Amino acid sequence: MKKKILVAGGAGFIGFHLCQSLLKNNKVICLDNYFTGSKKNIEILSKNKNFSFIKQNVQKKITLKCDEIYNLACPASPKKYQKNPLDTIKTNIFGSINLLELAKKNNAKIFQASTSEVYGDPLIHPQDESYRGNVNIIGVRACYDEGKRLAESIFFDYYRTHKINIKIARIFNTYGPNMNNDDGRVVSNFILSALKGNPLIIHGNGKQTRSFCYVSDTVRGLVKLMNSKMAIQGPINIGSDNEITIYNLAKKIIKLTNSKSKIVNVEKAEDDPIKRKPNLYLAKKLLNWNRQVKLENGLQKTIDYFKNK
Ligand code: NAD
Ligand code: UDP
């Protein structure tokens, strides 16, 4: 019999790709309130008879039957999660508790989409999972960073108290097709601007770095973690260790799109991390997971997606 898997946040960018991947062998229930998710994604997924959708906020109690739960429900773009910071905090805390209660009731495995943001503006480089981070607790990013940190704590307390089978991945910057046009994150912003011939706006001097992972690689990592033995709980970094400055990313996208766009620097974003790159030792050793898609190839696929859109 097919497993019944709940994906909270399945109408969003990574959630959409995760649902597509899980539907190959399972029944998938997506629960989402469309805060940043797209109805178009759900329309595409609904073509599969093993897919069903529930429009609901994870902050409310959830009652359904399932074998596994993925918690991706949370806005991920700084532009979106800072729009209503109190809601972001509530989604992380009450969403985690409600889904963990559901896992307890169903005796289900549960996965939490944590983030590289738990390391804040990191003082060690690259970041490994034992690093406890450098988050500005009272800053504008804290609703997300601290929300995700507390979610990890809640997951481990449910494990210690109720022996729930938990899995936590710290996802690093992921990009690819099916990001929303107004998402606000750097890859989609730069591609859309380059395709329209508009300036690519860099916050700050562009020397800040990120390490971008193509979405199919990220999703493979999340599923491998979910399917790993119970002793492997994480947190485990999932992402790319191919570090690039935001300035070089802009140049690359201008080149790949054959665009005449200029680069324009504006004021640095508040609390913007200066460097970010994961140490992937645990993902490789425990999950036998490796990134497969090169940045140029992943960017080209994403450019093609936005061109066709
Ligand atoms: P996204 O914003 O595209 O998707 C988030 C989804 O969650 C959306 O469909 C949204 O409508 C839904 N959602 C938000 N609040 C909700 C609520 N209260 N109730 C029900 N649904 C709600 O973001 P994404 O890039 O797909 O990220 C998915 C998850 O992965 C997030 O939890 C994010 O924090 C985590 N993550 C993503 C990245 C990345 O680079 N994409 C990096 C680190 C962590
Ligand atoms: N950024 C930028 N221009 C944009 C969007 C983002 O210069 O249009 C920068 C942002 O300040 C950060 C980096 O790109 O330094 C990555 O930002 P993003 O919002 O994609 O994700 P983050 O890693 O900050 O959560």
Residue with the smallest CA separation from ligand 2 atom 2 is: 202
Q: Name the residue among 224, 212, 213, 216 with its Cα closest to residue 285.
A: 224
**Is the confidence at residue 59, as pLDDT, over 90?**
yes
Strands (E), 9-55: 27-32, 51-55
Task: For residue 203, report the distance from its CA to the centre of ligand 2, in Å.
Answer: 7
* Atom number of ligand 1 nearest to Cα 173: 40
* CA nearest to 2, candidates 41, 29, 33: 29
Q: Ligand 2, residues 174, 203, 251: which to mutate, most atoms within 8 A of Cβ?
A: 203
Q: Which of the following is catalytic: 144, 175, 214, 247?
A: 144
| pLDDT of the residue at 143 | 98
**Ligand 2 atom showing the smallest separation from residue 190 Cα:** 8
**Can you spell out the DSSP letters for 53-96?**
EEE--TTS------SEEEE--S--SHHHHTTSHHHHHHHHHHHH
Q: Are 58 and 99 in contact (CB under 8 A)?
A: yes
Q: In angstroms, how far is CA 61 from the centroid of its own chain?
A: 23
Over residues 60-70, mean pLDDT? 98
Would you say 10 and 28 are in contact if contact means Cβ atoms under 8 Å apart? yes
Indicate if the pLDDT at residue 114 is higher than 90: yes
User: Is 282's C-beta closer than 6 angstroms to any atom of ligand 2?
Assistant: no
User: If you average pLDDT over residues 126-130, what whole number do you get?
Assistant: 98
What is the number of the ligand 1 atom nearest to the C-alpha of 10? 9
d(CA 121, CA 85): 19
**254 is written with which tokens?**
């201008």
Q: What is the mean pLDDT of residues 186-211?
A: 98
- Per the prediction, the chain carries an average pLDDT of 98
CA 182 – ligand 1 centroid, Å: 14
Q: What residue type is assigned to position 192 of the chain?
A: L
Ligand closest to Cα of 211 equals 2
Residue 86: the pLDDT is 98
Question: Going by CA atoms, what residue is nearest to atom 5 of ligand 2?
Answer: 186
* Ligand 2 contacts CB of residue 115 (under 6 A): no
144 catalytic, yes or no?
yes
Mean pLDDT of 147-155: 98
Indicate which residue's Cα is closest to atom 4 of ligand 2.
186
Q: In a 3-state reduction of DSSP, which class is residue 145? A: helix
Report angle CA 217, 221, 224 to the nearest 5 degrees: 135
What does the block give as tokens for 122?
């990191």
Of 171, 185, 213, 253, best ligand 2 pocket probe by most atoms within 8 Å of the beta carbon: 185
Q: Is ligand 2 within 6 A of the CB of residue 202?
A: yes
- Is the C-alpha dihedral spanning 29, 34, 40, 43 positive or negative? positive
Sign of the C-alpha dihedral computed for residues 216, 220, 221 and 222 taken in this order: positive
Q: Is residue 279 over pLDDT 90?
A: yes
Res. 265: pLDDT tops 90? yes
User: How is residue 231 written in tokens?
Assistant: 């002793």
pLDDT at residue 309 is higher than 90:
no
For residue 182, pLDDT beyond 90: yes
CB of residue 256 inside a 6 A radius of ligand 2: no
Superfamily name and number for 4-176+214-241+277-292: NAD(P)-binding Rossmann-like Domain (3.40.50.720)
- Residue extents of the structural domains in the chain: 4-176+214-241+277-292
Which tens digits make up the pLDDT trace of 1-57? Answer: 899 999 999 999 999 999 999 999 999 999 999 999 999 999 999 999 999 999 999
Q: What is the pLDDT of residue 193?
A: 98
For the chain, what percent of residues have pLDDT higher than 70?
100
Ligand 1 neighbourhood includes 110 CB (under 6 angstroms): no
Q: Whose CA is nearest to atom 4 of ligand 1?
A: 12
Ligand 2 neighbour 269 (Cβ under 6 A): yes
Which residue has the least CA distance to atom 12 on ligand 2? 272
Helix (H, G, I), strand (E, B) or coil at 15: helix
- Identify the band that residue 92 occupies on the pLDDT scale cut at 50, 70 and 90: very high
* pLDDT, average across residues 267-294: 97
Residues in CB range of 149: below 8 A, 6 or more apart: 118, 133, 135
* pLDDT at 177 exceeding the cut of 90: yes
Distance 8 CA to ligand 1 centre (A): 9
| CA 6 to chain centroid | 16
CA–CA distance, 94 with 109 (Å, rounded to integer): 18
